[in-house]
Amino acid sequence: MLHLLFIGTTELLVIAGIALLLFGGKKLPEMMRGLGKGVNSFKQGMKDPVDDQEVTKDESEGAK
């Protein structure tokens, strides 16, 4: 059952072909660009985590 987790070249080509048919040639690069920005944002968030308690503490001190 573990072999189902690995995707080969043929499967990737089939998935890419279906995506091209569904979304078209003009929309697909725009979607991939948005996906790339989302991944970069996620990686940046994981790299520099912000403590929510510190943010709310700083905001409440600024309001006083």
> What digits encode the pLDDT tens for the residues 1-56?
455 667 788 888 898 889 888 888 888 888 889 989 999 998 888 887 666 555 55
Q: DSSP characters for 18-53?
A: HHHHHHHHHHHHHHHHHHHHHHHHHHHHHHS---HH
pLDDT > 80? residue 60: no
For tokens 């279906």, name the residue: 18
Q: Look at residue 24 in the predicted model and tell me its pLDDT.
A: 85
> What digits encode the pLDDT tens for the residues 5-18?
677 888 888 988 89
